[in-house]
Structure 1
Amino acid sequence: MPSRAPHDRPRLRISLGLNIAVLLAVAVVAAVGVGAVAWWLLGRPPIRAAGRWTPGESFDFAKIVLAVVGGAGAVVALVVAYRRQQLGEAAEQREEIKLFAERFTKASDQLGAEKAPVRLAGLYALEDLARGTPAQRQTIVNVLCAYLRMPYAPPDESESAGEENERRRQELQVRLTAQRILGAHLRPDDAAEFWRDIDLDLTDATLVEFDLGRCRVRAARFHRAEFAGRADFAEARFDGVAGFGLATFTGVADFGEAEFADSAAFGGAGFREWARFSEVRFGADAAFAEAGFGWLAAFDGADFAGAAGFRGARFREAWFTRATFGGVAKFTGAEFGANAEFGGVRVRLDPPRRPTTVRLGGEVVDEDAYPEEADHDFPGALVVVDPPAENDASLPGRPGRWGHLASAD
């Protein structure tokens, strides 16, 4: 069952009679208060001493009694009408919850069907349900992610026929549809279709030609996920922690111009093809400890606002040209192959001392991934030097003093 929204929680109810009595008491106090304020504003005129009871005063008293009775009746009618409206709204809400539960259960059951068209119908039913119930979108996204985390065997392209291979081809289409639904509603291009503040948990998932480009999510888990084909995260934004620890990228991994507002964990990830992190912004710490790059690792123009941990990483070819390191940079034990470019790199000379560990929902996702020491450790004969001119020791909008990366020669 979906979790209740905050406004669905049970509220304290009082009896109708007590409700009326309280409201009448409030009305009397309010009337007395208003009369006292009016008397004070009129200059506190003296109250005439009571004399003989006249017929006119009897008539005025009758009018006052009728007015009080009419006011009390109005209060009672107001309370009854309000209580009736409350009961009607509660009944309508219960009916909506019941209808949602029925549709949600039916669509979820369709995802477990044997035939691929039925599973596709379940995906589209969940998408339509999420459009009409914004409070339950995270629940529906959780179901889509759970489906993508299920064990999956890709079709064998060498086989042109076979019942099992055909079943795998159909399942591939279902999974691609689930991925497209996520991507379509996580892009803020269309405000009406955008689902904001969504978390993704695709741990251990097999993702084929995964496209999250220009999407915006909150926290994201891709630990041990396998990205078959191209993985597109270009211009994506992660507002929370993003975990890609031990993930495998078999095709091009494009994170160009992406933005990580919180920690990014790529410890132990494997990139078999081009890994593009050009112009990416890491707003907090970035961990690439023990990551393996089988081809070009492009970090040109990357901005590391926090610590950058590349301990034990393996590069075949690496570009870090024009990158900025605002926190401690550690390349201890990193291995470089044919070419490593570090031209135009800017390094903060006084990086903050703050040992960190990446956590996601209380779970440690990358232990000891970040440097605890406050000294940079760049590869080979590269050293950090003070700028030749004092006015070159600062960067616009960035705190601290900044130096250059140069060869020790």
Structure 2
Amino acid sequence: MRFRREQCLMLILFWGAISLIGSLCAEDFLGVPLEVVEEVMDLGYNLDPRTPNLIEQIIVDYPESPLGLCLKAARLFRLDDYAEGSDTEISEQFQEASDLAIEAAKNYYNRNPQDHEARYALGMCELNLARYYIDHRRWFSGFFRATSGLGHLKAILKEHPDFHDAKMPLGVANCFLDKTPSYLKPLAALLRFSGDMELGLQQLKESETKGFLTRYESLYYQISVQWVLLEDKEAAREILDRFIERFPRNVDALSMRADLDRKTERFEEAFEGYQYILSIPEINYIGEMRDWVMLHSGNLAIQLEKPEIALEKGSVLLETVEPSDTELRAWAQMLYANALLHLGRRGEARVEFAKVKRRDNSKAFKASERILYEMDRDEE
């Protein structure tokens, strides 16, 4: 969970392929009972470890349906996103599962060309893979998948304007391509899509209030639009709180909430939020997030004049973070040294600050140089 919140918020596709139901009237979706899919949603958003087994059971019990494979690809995508692409095994598993899901969805749609839900499943699977390509700066691959996926959804809404779940991805595109973040500009140029913020917000709201599973998915996107694009952090906080009230064990949302408090200088609330996250088992399911949450909480402990706590957290990080993770170790070293400084152990702090190397992380190195310079000046 490196200092990535702004980028991660840009296009969070939390359980993207899970948002595959357009009508509360149906008893099943793509041949899978509705209550089974609802259970996947409830477990998945709360990061319940039973989720993957339930998905595998869907694949076994409903072999004619592409839904199980779509959900499997979506889960692996989320794990890859949490790991920020650093786990090559998960990345490879996602790409393989995604290819299988798209093939299964395409075959199902070809057998049922009049079924708009089948077309929706195909479009969402393609957009899931497009998001992965975009995250990894594979612009042309992302462009082709995004064009195809969005094309399916536009066609669905042309014939079925009340299929509200299809509006969510289009709402995301309209918002983010109207006020395009710098890292998405290559894709915007390829798509030749100018976007429409007002329309996008309306589409996201309708998918929340009139869609089915997208009513929760839409909240995630509305948070990112308000926080990142419109810079309305209070609006983002209100939406985020609604999501957390529904899914209180979602540590990704909880960490966003703590990040938001930290960036709006609600330091005590942020510290308590990070401490809570570290106390629940779900934090251990998400790659490096635990380490970054501990780092943030340690820095806040210094801000709140609790250097003993900061020293303990810095020590734990230096003992547990792998040497290969040079960025995280550099910031952990900074935390440890800074805690020593605030405890009045200046000599030890000086030694620890000097251990931060430019090759590990240039920002941490510059910060350590600045503090060492200030220490020298104070001692003159």
TM-score using structure 2 length: 0.30
Q: Bigger relative contact order, structure 1 or 2, given CA contacts below 8 A and separation 6+?
A: 2
- Larger Rg over CA atoms: 1
The structure where strand makes up a greater share of residues is: 1
TM-score using structure 1 length: 0.29
